[in-house]
Structure 1
Amino acid sequence: MTLQTDDELERALTALAEAEGTSRQEVVRRAVLERYERSGHAARVQQSSGRMIEKWGDVLDRLGTV
């Protein structure tokens, strides 16, 4: 895979790699995996929230009108 970068991304990758004592490739790898994990987490939270609203929505509505 080839990653096209601009000057800003080059500077950021270099700075992060130096700060973390790792390669620029590893910085990109970690960033992608972190983003992937967060997107999965967001979906799980949304699904869980939907289940809770379905189960407790009437109670939440009543509490909101007090």
Structure 2
Amino acid sequence: MTTDLLEPAIPINEIIQVFKKAKYSEYLSSEYEGNRLINDRYEVNSVEQVKRHQTVLKDAIND
């Protein structure tokens, strides 16, 4: 996920909107698979990536 909170691989906002439209009100779980796909290009702070992901999820849910 980029520093401006864009995730090019997963349409998080669109996915959350589907849950909201269906009035889903149970738990939502997500999984961080690590930096294995981009580690060759640059070093990634995994903790920061998870924080960004959680921020995007929270924003999408509260939107």
TM, length-normalised to structure 1: 0.36
The structure whose residues are more often helix, as a share, is 1
Higher relative contact order (CA 8 A, sep 6+): 2
TM, length-normalised to structure 2: 0.37
